[in-house]
Amino acid sequence: MDEKNQDNHTLDLIKNRRTIRAYDPRSLTQEEVDTIIQGAMRAPTAGNLMMYS
């Protein structure tokens, strides 16, 4: 995916976010958990405190 399409995909995800009230009962793989944690570690924090650095 080129950078422009990736930016558009990211913006689409942000614009179309929603609250989930019912979750899939399947467990996440360790790879999925690691990917989520890596994303959270790179996400901005309130006041740019960077608590996870």
pLDDT of residue 18: 87
The rounded distance, in Å, linking the Cα atoms of 3 and 9 is 10
Domain that residue 13 falls in? 9-48
Q: Does residue 16 form part of some domain?
A: yes
Q: Does residue 38 form part of some domain?
A: yes
pLDDT of residue 4: 64
At 1-53, the pLDDT tens digits run 566 666 788 889 889 988 888 888 999 999 999 999 998 888 877 776 666 55
Residues 6+ apart with CB under 8 A from 38: none
**pTM, full prediction:** 0.51
Q: Does residue 24 form part of some domain?
A: yes
Q: Does residue 2 form part of some domain?
A: no
Check residue 27 and give left, alpha or beta (phi > 0: left; psi -120 to 50: alpha). beta
